[in-house]
A and B are shown apart, each in its own frame.
Chain A
Amino acid sequence: MELELTDEQVLFAGTTRRFLEDTCPLTGVRALADDPAGFDPAWWRQGAELGWTSLLVPEARGGGSVSGEGLIDATLVAEERGRLVAPGPLVPVSVVAGALAAVSSHDDVLADLLSGEQVAGWCYLEPGRPLGKVATNVRLEGERVVLSGAKAPVEAAGVAGHLLVVAAGDEGLTEVLVPAGTPGVTVTPRQGIDLVRRFATVTFDEVDLPATALVGQPGGAGYQVERQLQVATVLTLAETLGALAAVFEFTTQWAFDRYSFGRPLASYQELKHRFADMALWLEASRATTAAAARAVQDDAVEAAELVSVAASYVGEHAGELVQDCVQMHGGIGVTWDHDIHLYLRRVTLNAAVYGTVADHRRRLAALVGLV
């Protein structure tokens, strides 16, 4: 989606693309549809070796980026993943690794995330509550912290070694790193639209942890949580863009190759005009996602606004673009055997799983003072 990349970035994206094509083509994605985790841990470790998990973590903490701009690099991985609707918990692992890198504790967990030995879940959204509303409660009791509440959807919670939980307490917004299997933590798998990305509802029933489980200061997580949402949203948007580009490419090719009434589909004005609209949506989606990624990379004051601008626009158009491409395919487009539904599943998931279009629009109206 970036027009200008460094040679190193082009090489990095190419390496990720070849790795995904070799190790997890669409047949591989289909084969994982019944896998409880949705991905192979050994395969994830290989991705970690390619650098996927370390991009948002400074070198001093064991990470490292390609260009010095880790989030931009991470969008390249996300985009390549989108092209092949790849499995794996890139978003939660990136968010949690970035969060742990921002504090000076939890070195061991961070190291495991970087190597791919462990994955993590990011517990932010709550069932039945709009984006940004946190009711999950944290109490500080001497050297202990106690968590209560429910989170959903939480990506990769079923296989996560740790869960980073956003909670509210008397002090304000607070983050706690909860080891999987802690008494009082219940992970209930959810059904989902995507074939390989797994989500769960996680409940915390008076979960009692040492104060060392805190990530940052109690009540001091507001900035970090906003940043985490921005990172999660940008990576999700970049993944959607990769998916849209792939669908648009193979559907355009189909329109050239498919003949009816002795003419290619691409010669019908009604269809040409719809491709023109799709070309506009795709280019505008690239423009706004690149701008959001740039703002988050730079930690710019307008980052929150630009992230929600992009989520609003891309979220609205991504599903419509793929559905239009389904229509271009005719009957084959709504069969299980055609791959386009893998993409439709992914972009539809992405448009709702880290805030819906409506969530981001309300947030935007508030951010720029229109309400």
Chain B
Amino acid sequence: MGLDDVPAPEELEEYRARARAWLQASMPRLEDAPPIEEQDAPRLRDLIRRLNDGGYAGICFPTELGGAGLSRYHHRAFLEEAREYELPIHVGNPGLSIIAPPILEFGTPEQRQHIAAMLRGDEIFVQMMSEPSGGSDMAGALTRADKDGDVWILNGSKIWSSGAWRSDWGLVLVRTDWSVPKHRGLSMVLLDLSLPGVTVNRIKMVNGAEEFCQEFFSDVVIPPECILGEPNDGWTVASRLLFHERDAVGGGSPYAFTRPSSAQAGAERDLARLAERSGVAGQPRVAELLGEAHANDVVSRQLIARVTDGIARGDLAPIAGSLLRLNIGVNVVRRAVIGMEIAGTDAVTWEDEDRSLHAAEQYLFRQALSIGGGTVEMQRNLISERLLGMPREPAPDRDTPFSEVRRNG
């Protein structure tokens, strides 16, 4: 069955019922799970192995790689059933949802075995795209791999790689030719993070999380079979990766374990509890804010379904996935503001230990989802230029050999 094939309703219901029973018997409940940032590698491996034993690790991946070979509708049904269960979010995202699809598309048969290894829990992957010298201008990468006989020598630094600290492998965007314009001198490298010369540092964010990392590469020796796709054609691979990243962040990925946004219904309960703690429950204005938060979440879910189905059917261009990515950024910002409005003074000074009631934490970090995974400004460029066909932004570096381009760092 193809990814976009629509299964018969009875078939899907049967699948759903089987998944429900299996989940109940096999997966830990969400309420017993540690906070998501504490899902370490052993726990992730255990969770993905359980899913794999049940046939649910790679619902949409080909059977020859250990997947189930089913459609995105099966995947969505499974996630809906799995809403109350702990899933290996960080194996799904970025590994299965963002990195595996380009490996599937561009990889050699040997490279594709990484997908099977991900599904077995043997390999946890991280993507390494952004650099300290610039985030949105990804094709301006300065990290370099230079050919030395048969091997490549990697030097440079990557940043904002989520979960690199617990990962085994990375997919890294590097420059392999400086004499050509920027998009034409890039390559994608499958990097074993245990190789000598790789250093991974965790970055502490304003909310205290240490999920993001910065990596330093110092004369790392990479074997030739680790280039994914053709050397110097890395931007083609990276563009596909970015497409899947928008899909994953926006909620439309058929490979991710990110829960559907309705799973955040719990978040509205948190807002309601926040209102009670702050002594404003029952005020009409607060009811309006709670209703708005709920409406926005439901609309996000409806938009995801509409856009992913529309793309699958060919009624919408694939770039419409950027609408989802933009929506998440906008919605998270509004959600954080609503929390602050409800909490009032309690938003800035409080007694509770209950972190779900800390409106300030979400507020301080609220721009993160407008930045990571492609800024909302980049999405607005993509939507206006590629969906609406408006003129592209001028890019003076587009046709200049990269060695002559003005740049940072």
Interface range, A side: 35 or more
- How far, in whole Å, are A364 and B383 apart by their CA atoms in the complex? 31
Q: Does A277 contact B (CB under 8 A)?
A: yes
Chain A residue at smallest Cβ distance from B272: A370
Whether A139 is near chain B, meaning CB under 8 Å from some CB there, is: no
For residue A275, CB closer than 8 A to chain B, the reply is yes
Interface residue A313 (Cβ < 8 Å from any Cβ of B)? yes
Cβ contact within 8 Å between A312 and B295:
yes
Query: For residues 253 through 290 of chain A, which have their beta carbon under 8 Å from a beta carbon of chain B?
Result: 255-256, 263-264, 266-267, 269, 272-273, 275-277, 279-280, 283-284, 286-288, 290
User: Beyond A266-B390, A313-B295, is A371–B310 a contact (Cβ under 8 Å)?
Assistant: no
Which of B51-59, B112-120, B133-141, B279-287 interfaces with chain A? B279-287
Please name the residue on chain A nearest to B293 by beta carbon.
Answer: A370
User: In the bound complex, do residue A3 and residue B315 qualify as a contact, i.e. CB atoms below 8 Å apart?
Assistant: yes
Partner-contacting stretch, out of B19-27, B70-78, B198-206, B320-328: B320-328
Bound-state Cα–Cα, A275 to B284, Å: 33
Chain A residues, Cβ within 8 Å of B287: 361-362, 365-366, 370-371
A106-146 Cβ-contact flags toward B at 8 Å (1 or 0): 00000000000000000000000000000000000000000
A277 neighbours in B (Cβ, 8 Å): 326, 330, 380
Residues of B within 8 A of A256 (CB): 390
B326 A280 Cβ-Cβ under 8 A: yes
Closest to B289 in A: A361
Nearest neighbor of A285 in chain B, beta-carbon distance: B299
Q: Which residues of A contact B278 (CB under 8 A)?
A: none
Cβ of A360 and Cβ of B315 under 8 Å apart? no
Contact between chains at B379 and A363 (CB < 8 Å)? no
CB-based contact A364/B384 at 8 Å: no
Complex CA–CA separation, A286 to B306 (angstroms): 9
Question: Closest CB-CB distance, B278 to chain A, in whole Å?
Answer: 14
Given A312-B291, A362-B284, is A276 in contact with B379 using a C-beta cutoff of 8 Å?
A: yes
Q: Is A291 positioned at the interface, with any CB of B under 8 Å from its CB?
A: yes
Query: Are A267 and B390 in contact (CB-based, < 8 A)?
Result: yes
Which of A275, A290, A306 meets B388, CB within 8 Å?
A275
A306: chain B residues within 8 A (beta carbon): 298
Once the chains bind, are B320 and A266 in contact (CB under 8 Å)? no
CA distance A272 to B294 in the complex (A): 29
Chain A residues whose CB sits within 8 angstroms of the CB of B291 once the complex forms: 308, 312, 360-365, 370
* Cβ contacts under 8 Å, B295 to chain A: 308-309, 312-313, 360-361, 364
Tell me the complex Cα distance, A287–B304, Å. 9
**CB closest chain-B residue, reference A369:** B272
Give, as a whole number of angstroms, the nearest-CB distance from A22 to chain B: 29
B391 touches A267 (CB 8 A): yes
Cα distance A358–B281 when bound, in Å?
16
Most buried by B among A269, A284, A364, A366: A284
Is B12 in contact with chain A by the CB < 8 A criterion?
no
Q: Does A301 contact B (CB under 8 A)?
A: no
State the CA gap A283–B282 with chains docked (Å). 33
A191 to B222, alpha carbons, bound, how many Å? 76
Report the bound CA distance from A290 to B301 in whole Å. Answer: 13
How many of B's residues come within 8 Å of A, CB to CB?
47
Q: Are A284 and B390 in contact (CB under 8 A)?
A: no
Question: Which of A264, A279, A360 is close to B387, meaning CB atoms less than 8 Å apart?
Answer: A279
Within 8 A of A (CB), among B305-351: 305-307, 309-310, 313, 315, 320, 323, 326-327, 330
Q: Is A42 an interface residue (CB 8 A)?
A: no
Cα A276 to Cα B330 with chains together (Å): 12
Point out the residue from A284, A366, A368 that lies within 8 Å of B299, measured CB to CB.
A284
A252 contacts the other chain (Cβ, under 8 Å)? yes
Measured between beta carbons, the chain A residues less than 8 angstroms from B310 are: 3
Contacts of A3 in B (CB 8 A): 306, 309-310, 313, 315
Structural contact, A266 and B391, CB atoms closer than 8 A: yes
Contact B383 A279 (CB under 8 A): yes
Task: Closest A residue to B286 by CB, please name it.
Answer: A371
A321 → chain B closest CB, angstroms? 14
Q: Which residues of the other chain, A, contact B380 by a CB distance below 8 angstroms?
A: 272-273, 276-277
A368 touches B390 (CB 8 A): no
Interchain CB contact (< 8 A) of A313 among B299, B309, B379, B393: B299
Q: Mark B229-272, 1 if CB is under 8 A from A, else 0.
A: 00000000000000000000000000000000000000011011
Instruction: Kindly state the separation between the CA atoms of A275 and B391 in the bound complex, as whole angstroms.
Output: 13
User: Residue on A with the closest CB to B385?
Assistant: A272
B364-393 to A contact mask, C-beta < 8 Å, 1/0: 000000000000010111111101101101
CB proximity of A273 to chain B, nearest CB, Å: 4
Q: Which residue of chain A has the shortest Cβ distance to B292 in the bound complex?
A: A361
- Residue of A280, A310, A313 touching B383 (CB-CB under 8 A): A280
Q: How far is the CA of A284 from the CA of B250 in the complex (A)?
A: 13
Query: Could you say which of A288, A290, A363 has the most chain B C-beta atoms within 10 Å of its C-beta?
Result: A288
Is B111 part of the binding interface, using a Cβ–Cβ cutoff of 8 Å?
no
Which residues of chain A are within 8 angstroms of B330 by Cβ–Cβ distance? 277, 280
Flag if A287 contacts B302 (CB, 8 Å): yes
State A365–B303 Cα separation when bound (angstroms): 21
Interface flag for B39 (CB, 8 Å): no
Closest CB in chain A relative to B83 CB, distance in Å: 16
CA of A284 to CA of B323, assembled, Å: 9
Residue-by-residue, is A303-334 near B (CB-CB < 8 Å gives 1, otherwise 0)? 00110111011001000000000000000000
Residue B296 interfacial (CB < 8 Å): yes
Known: A256-B390, A275-B388, A287-B302. 9 other contacts (CB 8 A): A279-B388, A283-B307, A284-B323, A288-B298, A291-B302, A309-B299, A363-B291, A365-B294, A370-B271
The 3 closest A-B pairs by CB, nearest first: A361-B291, A272-B384, A312-B295
13 A-B contact pairs sorted by A residue (CB < 8 Å) = A3-B313, A252-B388, A275-B384, A276-B382, A280-B327, A284-B300, A361-B287, A364-B294, A364-B295, A366-B287, A370-B290, A370-B291, A371-B287
